Chains A and B, each alone.
Chain A
């Protein structure tokens, strides 16, 4: 049962009702259950931020690293224990901003890691500041007149090397999300899953959404599956691009 992979005794989680992180956790637990991953063969490394707390709710050894430092920790764990499945779960701010240098170099070195990026396009835990993935012109508490810059291009950053795995999905598309996670876990190298999700409390409401449900419907409306065999995902396309 996937529920055996959760520390239910530590529920309720710290997350706001309607937050997308819980859905990522459930899908991850389901994939782990399917693949026989448990505390004897898997560890979860997470960073600081709302998403970072995920490792504490899973029934495997988990590490809540310093802000931005998941990848150096995870790479070392994998190097010391190649038999262990090492899964990194963290937020967009943690992975792409404060940990950006590590992301770029980890992708280049291509260690066998699965990285799930909760991409809610904002710093949720600290109250809704603009982050590296915030779309241009989006108002946040730190960009009241709209974010000044274009967001980081995660797809092309990950695809810069000769070998790569980049998946984009959303928490609305649950089966697609689960499939992306499963494929990423099976990928023998650095596999990055960019998961669009909702931070209702510190982003969604400011953008005019009344509930997490409305945000999910918005994902349903905006994100479309990429055509079969696409080598590049267009904005608002979900799918997997890889080269081994």
Chain B
């Protein structure tokens, strides 16, 4: 049945579709609708477990515990909470824990501008915890995609055995669109790791060998482990190489955007070529290079001060023009103004 659905609600419904049965979270705008929906769902369905945690450190560690106990678990937060969750995200990568974290972004740093929309957690998403790790990250831009990629995140988490991130922002999270949720088909990957209470395993945040035995001074064991994990993530990422590319042969300029900004600048398709990564991390390499071929100018428009633009620059090894939409104001006029300043008047 078609009905009005909110972005945050679609994320929750996508999680349920994927078989999620555990949520822990701490209230923070603009993500709190997801926590409230989880609380309501748990009140109706005893098979769904819910904890309102004392802080985001607890929430992120609770979803790890729940995953080890065999649940499909998730949490939802925004910038400052996402920062607190970084330690657990790193742990999840070291211990290879499938779980899902939703970050509905707002303007930062710190408490920032609650709760104006932003895309300022891009770098934090990829590099926020200590050590080297290779997170899988989706950034939907519509209510339908919120549903689709929330569900995909759970499958990718199982396949990669890692915490998978769904990025959103205050606009996408609070967007209301008419969709027929039941008509959206998603693939669901079941849980694979046997739950706690079935073996004699040791799950440790220390570097360890295949048996879970701590190996804290063995470079070879560490390197082998890291390359194995890296290869697995690469393989899983390839299965979710979702992007949107609108070619335009009448222009020499490719605009790159994602999330809410890609919705806002959609009307520019007649004047420019458009590229949008949906699986935003690991970085699209081959795809990005292919799409960028033949365009003289590459522009990244985003609601932060060039976080993704720098990564695109590194990937393409070409200079990239940055158009930051800052302070929670994201609209087509500002995007046009930025384009005319940088492309026509050549301002830095």
What is A's interface to B at a CB cutoff of 8 Å? 7, 10, 39-43, 45, 48, 53, 55-56, 59-66, 68-69, 71-77, 79-81, 83-84, 101-102, 104-105
Contact = CB atoms under 8 A, between A and B. Distances in A.
A65 B70 contact: no
| Pairs of residues from A and B, 3 with the lowest C-beta to C-beta distance, nearest first | A76-B65, A73-B65, A80-B69
B196 interface: yes
A80 B200 contact: no
B205 A76 contact: no
Given A56-B202, A84-B69, A73 B61 contact: yes
A14 to B, nearest CB: 8
A95 to B, nearest CB: 14
B51 A75 contact: yes
A73 B200 contact: no
Contacts of B198: 39-40, 61
B66 A77 contact: yes
B55 interface: yes
B24 interface: yes
Contacts of B346: none
A91 B24 CA distance: 25
A91 to B, nearest CB: 15
Interface in B180-213: 195-206, 212-213
B57 interface: yes
Contacts of B22: 76, 79-80
Contacts of A77: 65-66, 68-69, 196
Interface of B: 21-22, 24, 49, 51, 53-55, 57-59, 61-66, 68-71, 73, 87-88, 91, 195-206, 212-214
Contacts of A61: 196-203
Contacts of A72: 24, 53, 57-59, 61-62, 65
Nearest to A108: B54
Please indicate which of the listed interface residues A39, A40, A69 has the most CB atoms of chain B within 10 Å of its own CB. A69
A50 B279 CA distance: 41
A48 B91 CA distance: 12
B202 A64 contact: yes
Nearest to B194: A61
A172 B343 CA distance: 78
Contact of B61 (A42, A53, A65, A83): A65
B74 to A, nearest CB: 12
B81 to A, nearest CB: 14
Contacts of A48: 205
Contacts of A105: 54, 58
Q: By DSSP majority rule, is chain B's interface helix, strand, loop, or mixed?
A: mixed
Nearest to B87: A66
A102 B70 contact: no
Contact of B69 (A7, A39, A60, A81): A81
Contacts of A65: 61, 64, 91, 205
B88 to A, nearest CB: 7
20 contacts: A7-B200, A39-B199, A42-B197, A56-B212, A61-B197, A61-B202, A62-B203, A63-B203, A65-B64, A65-B91, A68-B57, A69-B61, A72-B24, A72-B61, A76-B22, A76-B69, A81-B70, A81-B195, A84-B69, A101-B55
A105 B200 CA distance: 30
Contacts of B71: 76, 80
Contacts of B61: 65-66, 69, 72-73, 76
Nearest to B70: A80
Contact of A73 (B21, B62, B87, B212): B62
B196 A75 contact: no
A73 B59 CA distance: 9
B220 to A, nearest CB: 20
B168 to A, nearest CB: 24
B197 A59 contact: no
Given A43-B196, A69-B88, A62 B49 contact: no
A84 B214 contact: no
Contacts of B66: 76-77, 79-80
B317 to A, nearest CB: 38
B88 A66 contact: yes
Please indicate which of the listed interface residues A66, A83, A102 has the most CB atoms of chain B within 10 Å of its own CB. A66
Given A76-B51, A76-B62, A64 B203 contact: yes
Nearest to B213: A10
Contacts of A10: 213
A7 B202 CA distance: 11
A60 B203 CA distance: 11
A3 B94 CA distance: 30
Nearest to B197: A84
Given A73-B68, A75-B51, A102-B54, A62 B62 contact: no
B64 to A, nearest CB: 6
B196 A102 contact: no
A39 B200 contact: yes
A61 B194 CA distance: 11
A42 B200 CA distance: 10
A79 B65 CA distance: 10
Contacts of B68: 63, 73, 77
Please indicate which of the listed interface residues B58, B66, B206, B212 has the most CB atoms of chain A within 10 Å of its own CB. B58
